[in-house]
Structure 1
C-alpha cells in the first residue's frame, strides 16, 4: 500500500509540474530563452499553450515562463 501511495504521489507531481508548452512545444530556442533588451520588441506568447496551461496545468504555468517555452520561436522572417 505504501508503494502505491508513493507511485501515485510521483505520478501526480509529474502531471502538476509538467506544462503544455514545455511538453508539446518542441525544442526551446535561444531566442525564446533570452529576454529582450530595452527598446527591443517583446516576444509573442503561444496563446494555445497559455490557455491550456491555465485550464489544465495552472500550477505549472511558471515552468513555461521560466523555460521560455511559452514564447513563440523566432520565425525565419523576423529579424
Structure 2
C-alpha cells in the first residue's frame, strides 16, 4: 500500500511539473484564463508548448488547458 501511495505521488508530481506552457510560458494573464463569449474570436494556442506536451508527457496538456497557459497572451494594441 505504501508503494502505491509513493507511485501516485510521483505520478502527480510528474503531471504537474511537466506542463511546458505552465512552466515556461510566463505569467498567465486574465485574457488567457477567460473563455471567449459567443461571437468573440477563439484564443490562439502556443503551438510549441502544445507539441512539446504531446511529445514529452501528453497528460500534461490537461494542466496547461486548465490553467490557460497553453493559450497565447493577448497582443498589445498597436497604434
Calculate the TM-score normalised by the size of structure 2: 0.80
For residues 24 and 14 of structure 1, the distance between their equivalents in structure 2, rounded to whole angstroms, comes to 17
Structure 1 residue ranges, 4+ long, deviating more than 4 angstroms after superposition: 8-12
What's 1:15 paired with? 14
Structure 2 unpaired stretches of 5+: none
Offset, 1:77: 2.5
**Given the alignment of the two structures, is residue 27 of structure 1 paired with residue 27 of structure 2, yes or no?**
yes
Q: Which deviations, in whole Å up to 9, do the C-alpha atoms of 1:21-75 show, x marking residues without a partner?
A: 0000000000000000000000000000000000012112101001100000001
Per the normalisation by structure 1, the TM-score is: 0.80
Task: Give unmatched runs, 5+ long, in structure 1.
Answer: none
Root mean square deviation, CA, Å: 2.1
Q: Give the paired residue count.
A: 75
